[in-house]
Structure 1
Amino acid sequence: MEKLADYTCDPEYLAVWSKLMKSLDNFKQVIEGPVTWIADIESFGRIDLKIVNEVLGPLGGGIERLMDESPSVTIKRGRLNQSIGLLKESKDVLAEIIDRIAIADD
């Protein structure tokens, strides 16, 4: 039954869950408060919220850095665009050949 529903009688799980819920207010204060980005959570200790620092870091521009394309992806994108162009040209040539065959058969 425990695997089918969000229900458990496991005392260890309940103990860990209750400790985490006690730390929830502290965690919210860290997120909503001044930019310290370090949470002190019971049974885990001090935790640095690394993802926030990476995205909103002190120098800024974190989100822009995430959106930058790597050089290898740029090269692959160029090759794919060339292939698409070649395939479109090939489609047009084949369409002309098929049209000529159809006209010749009539």
Structure 2
Amino acid sequence: MTQPSPKPVVWLGDTRATLRACPQDVQDEVGYALYLAQISEKYAGAKPLKGLGPGVLEVVADHRGDTYRAVYTVRFAERVYVLHVFRKKSKKGIATPQSDIELVRQRLKRAAELDQKREH
């Protein structure tokens, strides 16, 4: 059985630089999740990000008391778009801060625009 060719990853905004600034084990976990997305599989720790529709996933990685999150979408057939990478600052609750949700929404819209242009 042949393995499908991995889909390219498109890093929106500063997501790539932000991930590279994260601890190595966080980079490894997010990188593995993205690799699985590239070959149309789902990382066991990836959860849908509520309120953003299908195909928007979040990976939560803990490192020495800090929580890091990476949000990406597999909504588009030919590419995996990384929408946001950040360290959760609030120690209260598990909800993603509204400002981060808004940034994800903006970048999801941008991903749709880029994907639409690619098709034409």
The structure whose residues are more often strand, as a share, is 2
Taking structure 2 as the reference length, the TM-score comes to: 0.27
Q: Of Structure 1 and Structure 2, which has the larger fraction of its residues in helix?
A: 1
Bigger Rg, structure 1 or 2: 1
